């Protein structure tokens, strides 16, 4: 049973990927992808039911295969570096390849570990996110790529190749979150980097290739740190046993000597999670077709980064490294939120928001109290759902107006009401109560006082968050006086993932109490053992019985009353307020509008009809990338240097 579940989670995507690559018919491909998606989702739920277990595959020399594939991938990077004449790619491929070869062949390191895979609650949370949300995005990609190729008028369809990498990605991610053997983890890590590279480069424009190369070298830099951490652990601890994730985090290896490799691994996590100063690869990844962005941002790739940092939390608990990580994450949260305000492209706003929220999650890991870890896990789940939804919305919008610019989305509510509605809920769910992201943020703020500097960054960043989301939403909603909405039809491949994710936001948001108790708490216990203190404020969300009524707080007050309030506030008016045509008036233009109701023309001087235009504010002089990037990157680099320097000194 367990071996089957494992095989499905990791190998089925590979098989499906190869199948869609060979079979080039749209319908057959769709069938395969949808089937894989369903199986993966069901499989992940089985994992949930099964609970934690350990597993080591037998019958085949998997270790050898991993080693061989490692070198294949690295040699491919070398090839990419040479063929693109991109020296950074080349250098960082070599810095991985040479030490690895020296270690494995020169030192004859042989790492064979049992168990090779450890499934615990944290991995189960991750696999649920990957398998369900990732699968939905793959389904979405089917139709999206069809439209995309139609629009770009490609001669020969590259869709099979695209789907191949997309589906494999899920398998690699599943492997990554289950792996206990650090060498295998490294292998899956490299596979995700490879998939990411291939998907970003998919359109084969100059920009796409450049950005893909940037993603590649930055992640290879992270990979290099990973390799060094491996070797360091192996050498100083004298053996393969040191390369088991469980051993590292359960305190079997103690003492200051572990700090440096852990710091290196966290550095690797930072690169993958696109933390400052590595944000540029994720921003560059925006050139890829939108499903890729959705996948990278919500359920895969960047989540691997935060997973690694979170996973290692016990290893650095109680050290200054923990505080430094908290500050680094909080700083990214703050800086990325600020930069998001100046972005004029929808997808870039989303990208900065992702970077910011990953920073928040990493900061929570750094704060390293049970509460903060719980917040981090909650945020991973909610962020995956909301961000997945928002990217799919961005893709849908893009395929309706063929633009990614926020200014072009002006008045979308009048053109595509359904998409706008879903986008609105998605955006609101990112930063407002009672939605999950805010609950996570709330928990994070309650925990943040441990590291006051992080708390200050949290406060500033959450304010900035309000500004950039509201600003964008405002552009969508800007409509002229008109009665009635046009009917909007979405293809099934678009609407099913959209609606499912939308429902997911509400179901998981409302069920946060039970989910927290049954699910997050045990996942938190996997990361950090200690007393589970639920903050008192949260008693209002989680039913804790009589003790709580005695405290004199309003009786049984779960999170759903907040949803009820939301419904009263927005849903009821939406459904029940009618507007009669005779009640409509044009907007106030000093009486100079040209007659009709839904006019945006007025008579300027000499009675010339002039269309007035409104634009969003982006504050680019103050908050633009040109102004802020040098500062932000400098500070981030300083923090990273301190982080690694601390590891070196402690040793």
Partner 1 sequence: MGLIEKSRIKSPWILHFDNSSCNGCDIEILACLTPLYDVERFGMVNMGNPKHADVLLITGPVNRRTARVLKNLYAQVPDPKIVIAVGTCASSGGVFHNCYNVLGGVDKVIPVDVYIPGCAARPEAIIDGVVLALQKLASLRGDKK
Partner 2 sequence: MIDQLITVIVALIVAPLIGGLLFGFDRKITARLQGRYGPPIIQPFYDFFKLLGKQHIAVSKLQFIWIYGYLTFMVVSLLFLVLKLDILLLVFLLGFAGVCFVLGAFSTKSPYAHFGANRELLQILAYEPVLLFLALGVYAQNGSFLISEIFKQDKPLLFTLWPLFIAVLFILTIKMRKSPFDISTSHHAHQEIVRGTVTEYSGPYYALIQLVEWYELVLLLGIIALFWTNPLWVGILIALGAFILELLIDNIAARLTARWMVRLSWSVGLVLGIINIAYLYLTKGVA
Query: Is position 432 an interface residue for partner 2 (rule: CB under 8 A)?
Result: yes
Here's the x/- map for partner 1, 605-634, by CB under 8 A: it reads as --x---------------------------
Write the interaction track for partner 2 spanning residues 400-429; mark x where CB under 8 A is met and - where it is not.
-----------x-x----------------
Q: How many residues bind partner 2 (CB under 8 A)?
A: 61
Output the smallest distance, CB 602 to partner 2, in A: 10
Query: What span, in angstroms and rounded, lies between the C-alpha atoms of 258 and 377?
Result: 25
The only residue of 591, 605, 608, 613 in contact with partner 1, by rule CB under 8 A: 591
Give the single-character DSSP code of 588.
Answer: P
Q: Which x/- pattern, by CB under 8 A, does the window 335-354 give for partner 1? A: --------------------
Could you tell me which of 250, 249, 367, 357 has the C-alpha nearest to residue 305?
357
Rule CB under 8 A: is residue 112 a binding residue for partner 1?
Answer: no
| Min CB(582)–partner 1 separation in Å | 10
Mask 448-487, x = binds partner 2 (CB under 8 A)?
A: -xx-x--xx--xx-xxx-xx--xx-xxx-xxxxxx-----
Torsion sign over Cα 183, 187, 192, 194: positive
Using CB under 8 A as the binding rule, the residues of this chain from 183 to 242 that contact partner 1 are: none
Beta bridge partners of 117: 55, 179
- C-alpha span between 595 and 606 (Å, rounded): 17
Least separation in angstroms between CB 536 and partner 2? 6
Q: Which of 200, 205, 203 is nearest to 215 (CA)?
A: 200
For the CB of residue 605, give the shortest distance to partner 1 in the complex, in Å.
11
Report how far residue 555's alpha carbon sits from residue 541's, in angstroms, rounded to the nearest whole number: 11
DSSP three-state, residue 478: coil
C-beta neighbour count of 82 within 10 angstroms: 13
Do residues 50 and 2 lie in contact, with contact meaning Cβ atoms separated by under 8 Å?
yes
Burial of 569 (0-12, 13-18, 19+ CB in 10 A): exposed
Instruction: Kindly indicate which of the ranges 100-108, 334-342, 356-364, 588-596 contains the residues binding partner 1, using the contact rule CB under 8 A.
Output: 588-596
Closer CB to partner 1, 417 or 586, in the complex? 586
Q: Which of residues 186-215 bind partner 2 (CB under 8 A)?
A: none
DSSP line for 335-381: HHHHHHHT--BHHHHHHHHHHHHHHHHHHHHHH-SHHHHHHHHHHHH
- What is the spatial distance between Cα 168 and Cα 39, in angstroms, rounded to a whole number? 14
Partner in contact with 565, chosen from partner 1, partner 2, none, beta carbon below 5 to 8 Å by kind:
partner 2
How many residues sit close enough to partner 1 to count as binding (CB under 8 A)? 8
Handedness of CA 186, 248, 317, 128 (dihedral sign): positive
The per-residue DSSP string of 234-278 comes to HHHHTSGGGGBHHHHHTTSS-SGGGHHHHHHHHHHHHHHTT-TTS
Q: Is 593 one of the binding residues for partner 1 (CB under 8 A)?
A: yes
Residues 435 and 429: beta-carbon distance below 8 Å:
yes
Which partner in partner 2, partner 1, none is near 450 (CB below 5 to 8 A by kind)? partner 2
- Picked from partner 2, partner 1, none, the partner binding residue 591 (CB below 5 to 8 A depending on kind) is partner 1
Decide: is 612 part of the binding site for partner 2 (CB under 8 A): yes
Nearer to partner 1, 550 or 607 (CB): 607
Q: Which lies closer to partner 1 via its Cβ, residue 400 or residue 599?
A: 599
- CB nearer to partner 1: give 108 or 582: 582
Report the DSSP beta bridge partners of residue 244.
Answer: 181
User: Considering beta carbons, is residue 148 or 471 the nearer one to partner 2?
Assistant: 471
Closer to partner 2 by Cβ: residue 395 or 440: 440
Report the nearest approach of partner 1 to the CB of residue 608 (Å).
Answer: 13
**54 φ/ψ angles, rounded to the nearest 5 degrees:** -115, 155
Beta-bridge mates of residue 601: 611
Find the binder of partner 1 among 586, 610, 618, 633 (CB under 8 A): 586
Do 322 and 646 form a contact (C-beta atoms < 8 A)?
A: no
Please choose which of partner 1, partner 2, none residue 413 contacts, taking the beta carbon within 5 to 8 angstroms, the exact cut-off set by kind.
partner 2
Supply the minimum distance, in Å, between the C-beta of residue 603 and partner 1.
8
Backbone CA torsion sign across 412, 416, 419, 421: positive
Q: Which residues of 103-141 are buried (b: 16+ CB within 10 A; e: fewer)?
A: bbeeeebebebebbbbbbbbbbbbbbbbbbbbbbbbbbb
DSSP state string for 64-107: HHHHHHHHHHHHHHHHHHHHTT-HHHHHHHHHHHHHHHIIIIIS
Nearest distance from C-beta of residue 607 to partner 1, angstroms: 8
From the list partner 1, partner 2, none, partner contacted by residue 242 (C-beta under 5 to 8 A by kind): none
Stretches 258-266, 430-438, 479-487, 587-595: which one binds partner 1 (CB under 8 A)?
587-595
Hunting for tokens 């216990």 — which residue is that? 525
| Interacting positions 538-577 with partner 2 (CB under 8 A) | 540, 551-555, 565, 568-570, 572-574, 577
Tokens (6 digits) for 68: 């061989």
456 makes contact, choosing from partner 1, partner 2, none, with CB < 5 to 8 Å by partner type, with partner 2
**Pair 647, 260: CB distance under 8 Å:** yes
- Decide whether 487 or 585 has the Cβ nearer to partner 1: 585
Of residues 579 through 608, those in contact with partner 2 by CB under 8 A are: 579, 583-589, 600
Helix (H, G, I), strand (E, B) or coil at 58: coil
Residues 482-521 that bind partner 2 (CB under 8 A): 482
- Measured from the CB atom, the residue of 48 and 597 that comes closer to partner 1 is 597
Task: Quickly tell me which residue has 């007035």 as its tokens.
Answer: 612
Q: Do residues 304 and 176 lie in contact, with contact meaning Cβ atoms separated by under 8 Å?
A: yes
CA-CA-CA-CA torsion for 27, 28, 32, 38, nearest 10 degrees? 40
CB of 603 to partner 2, least distance (A): 15
Residue 474 touching partner 1 (CB under 8 A)? no
Q: Which does 537 bind (CB under 5 to 8 A by kind): partner 1, partner 2, none?
A: partner 2
Among 588, 605, 608, 626, binds partner 1 (CB under 8 A): 588
**Contact residues for partner 1 (CB under 8 A)?**
585-586, 588, 590-593, 607
**Contact residues for partner 2 (CB under 8 A)?**
411, 413, 432-433, 438, 442, 445-446, 449-450, 452, 455-456, 459-460, 462-464, 466-467, 470-471, 473-475, 477-482, 535-537, 540, 551-555, 565, 568-570, 572-574, 577, 579, 583-589, 600, 612, 614, 616-617
């Amino acid at each position: 049973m367990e071996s089957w579940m494992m095989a499905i989670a990791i190998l089925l995507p590979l098989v499906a990927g190869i199948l869609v690559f060979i079979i080039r018919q749209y319908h057959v491909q769709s069938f395969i992808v949808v089937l894989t998606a369903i199986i993966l989702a069901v499989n992940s739920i089985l994992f949930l039911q099964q609970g934690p277990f350990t597993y080591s595959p037998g019958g085949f020399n998997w270790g050898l295969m991993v080693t061989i594939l490692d070198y294949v991938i690295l040699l491919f990077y070398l090839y990419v570096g040479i063929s693109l004449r991109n020296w950074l790619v080349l250098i960082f491929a070599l810095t991985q390849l040479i030490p690895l070869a020296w270690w494995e062949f020169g030192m004859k390191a042989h790492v064979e570990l049992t168990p090779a895979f450890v499934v615990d609650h944290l991995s189960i949370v991750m696999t649920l996110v990957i398998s369900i949300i990732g699968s939905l995005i793959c389904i979405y990609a089917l139709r999206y790529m069809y439209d995309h190729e139609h629009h770009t008028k490609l001669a020969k369809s590259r869709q099979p190749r695209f789907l191949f990498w997309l589906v494999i990605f899920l398998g690699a991610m599943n492997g990554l979150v289950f792996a206990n053997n650090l060498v295998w983890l490294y292998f899956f890590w490299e596979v995700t980097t490879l998939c990411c590279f291939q998907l970003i480069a998919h359109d084969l424009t100059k920009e796409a290739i450049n950005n893909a190369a940037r993603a590649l070298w930055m992640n290879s830099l992270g990979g290099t740190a990973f390799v060094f951490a491996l070797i360091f652990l192996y050498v100083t601890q004298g053996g393969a046993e040191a390369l088991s994730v469980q051993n590292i985090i359960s305190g079997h290896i103690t003492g200051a000597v572990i700090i440096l490799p852990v710091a290196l691994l966290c550095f690797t996590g930072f690169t993958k999670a696109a933390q400052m100063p590595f944000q540029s690869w994720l921003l560059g990844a925006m050139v890829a077709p939108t499903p890729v962005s959705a996948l990278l941002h919500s359920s895969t790739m960047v989540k691997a980064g935060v997973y690694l940092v979170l996973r290692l939390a016990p290893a650095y608990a109680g050290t200054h490294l923990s505080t430094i990580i908290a500050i680094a994450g909080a700083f990214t949260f703050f800086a990325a939120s600020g930069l998001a305000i100046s972005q004029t492209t929808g997808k870039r706003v989303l990208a900065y928001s992702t970077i910011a929220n990953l920073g928040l999650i990493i900061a929570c890991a750094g704060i390293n109290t049970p509460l903060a870890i719980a917040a981090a896990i909650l945020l991973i789940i909610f962020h995956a759902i909301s961000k997945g939804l928002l990217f799919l919305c961005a893709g849908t919008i893009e395929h309706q107006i063929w633009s990614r610019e926020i200014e072009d989305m002006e008045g979308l509510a009048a053109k595509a009401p359904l998409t706008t509605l879903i986008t609105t809920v998605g955006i609101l769910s990112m930063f407002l109560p009672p939605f999950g992201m805010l609950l996570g943020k709330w928990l994070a703020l309650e925990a943040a006082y441990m590291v006051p500097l992080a708390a200050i960054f949290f406060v500033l960043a959450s304010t900035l968050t309000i500004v950039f989301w509201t600003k964008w939403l405002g552009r969508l909603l800007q409509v002229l006086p008109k009665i009635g909405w046009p009917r909007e039809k979405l293809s099934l491949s678009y609407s099913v993932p959209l609606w499912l994710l939308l429902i997911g936001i509400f179901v998981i948001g409302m069920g946060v109490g039970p989910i927290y108790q049954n699910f997050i708490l045990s996942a938190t216990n996997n990361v950090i053992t200690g007393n589970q203190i639920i903050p008192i404020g949260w008693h209002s969300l989680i039913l804790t019985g009589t003790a709580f009524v005695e405290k004199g707080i309003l009786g049984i007050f779960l999170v759903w009353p907040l949803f009820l309030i939301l419904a009263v506030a927005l849903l009821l008016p939406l459904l029940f307020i009618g507007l009669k045509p005779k009640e409509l008036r044009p907007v106030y233009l000093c009486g100079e509008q040209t007659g009709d109701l839904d006019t945006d023309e007025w008579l300027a001087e000499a009675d010339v009809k002039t269309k007035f235009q409104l634009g969003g504010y982006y504050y680019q002089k103050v908050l633009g990338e040109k102004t802020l990037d040098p500062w932000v990157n400098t500070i981030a680099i300083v923090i990273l240097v301190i982080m690694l320097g601390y590891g070196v000194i402690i040793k």
